[in-house]
Structure 1
Amino acid sequence: MLWPGCSRVSDGSEWSAPLSLRSSCSTSPGRAQSIAKERVRELVACKEVAVVTLTGHDQTDRWGRELGYITFNQTGLGTVLIAEGLAHARYDDLDGYDRHPRQDAYRYIDVVTPNLCE
Structure 2
Amino acid sequence: MLSPLVFYKALADDTRLKSLLLITEQQELCVCELMTALELSQPKISRHLAQLRKANILADRRSGQWVFYSLHPELPAWAQKVLQQTLLTNVAYLAPCRQQLTLVSERPATQSCC
TM-score surpassing 0.5?
no
Instruction: Choose between structure 1 and 2: higher helix proportion.
Output: 2
Instruction: Choose between structure 1 and 2: higher strand proportion.
Output: 1
Q: TM-score, normalised by structure 1?
A: 0.31
Q: Which has the higher contact order (CA 8 A, sep 6+)?
A: 2
